[in-house]
């Protein structure tokens, strides 16, 4: 009897700790932290660089610091949509990170920023497949 109880406990533990592809991925908790870390410095609101005094514009007119900007996408959004809820293949926010790091279009485009890990790419893919729900997160609005 003891053995049975123990194997059941182990089975239950394994079951609960194994990542389930159907678990809802949470933008604010699971995705935003690594997007902020790897993408936002080049894709955010226009600002003036303190040291050079130069005005920095978001690269490719693409901003990742607010929901409405992510949904709007960048300057080439018609040909290369940044985010298509439900369709990871048509979401450059993921596809550009999957390219060979030597590729011209690979993101992040500078090695000063962390490339996404396979786990992060998987989370992003699952979140897009699940419909790209931002929950309560709004981020920057202007």
Site for ligand HEC in 107-126 (CB under 6 A): 107-110, 113, 116
**Alpha carbons within 13 A on the beta-carbon side of 46:** 7
Q: Are 27 and 137 contacting, i.e. CB atoms less than 8 angstroms apart?
A: yes
Answer yes or no whether residue 25 interacts with ligand HEC by CB under 6 A.
no
Burial environment of residue 140 by CB neighbours within 10 A (0 to 12, 13 to 18, 19 or more): middle
Q: Which is nearer to ligand HEC, 22 or 50 (CB)?
A: 50
**Angle CA(39)–CA(84)–CA(30) in degrees, nearest 5?**
50
Which of 82, 123, 127, 134 touches ligand HEC (CB under 6 A)?
82
Spatial separation of the C-alpha atoms in residues 126 and 105, rounded to whole Å = 22
Which of 26, 56, 80, 98 touches ligand HEC (CB under 6 A)?
80
Answer yes or no whether residue 26 interacts with ligand HEC by CB under 6 A.
no
Residues that bind ligand HEC (CB under 6 A): 38-39, 41-43, 59-60, 62, 73-77, 80, 82, 92-93, 96-97, 105, 107-110, 113, 116
């Amino acid at each position: 009897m003891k053995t049975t109880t123990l194997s059941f406990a182990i089975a239950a533990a394994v079951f609960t700790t194994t990542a389930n592809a159907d678990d809802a991925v949470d933008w604010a908790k699971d995705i935003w932290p690594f997007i902020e870390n790897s993408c936002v410095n080049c894709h955010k609101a226009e600002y003036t660089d303190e040291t050079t005094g130069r005005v920095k514009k978001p690269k490719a007119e693409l901003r990742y610091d607010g929901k409405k900007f992510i949904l709007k996408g960048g300057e080439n959004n018609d040909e290369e949509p940044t985010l298509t809820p439900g369709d990871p293949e048509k979401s450059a926010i993921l596809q550009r990170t999957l390219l060979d790091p030597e590729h011209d279009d690979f993101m992040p485009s500078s090695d000063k920023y962390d490339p996404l890990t396979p786990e992060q790419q998987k989370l992003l893919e699952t979140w897009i497949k699940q419909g790209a729900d931002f929950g309560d997160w709004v981020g920057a609005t202007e």
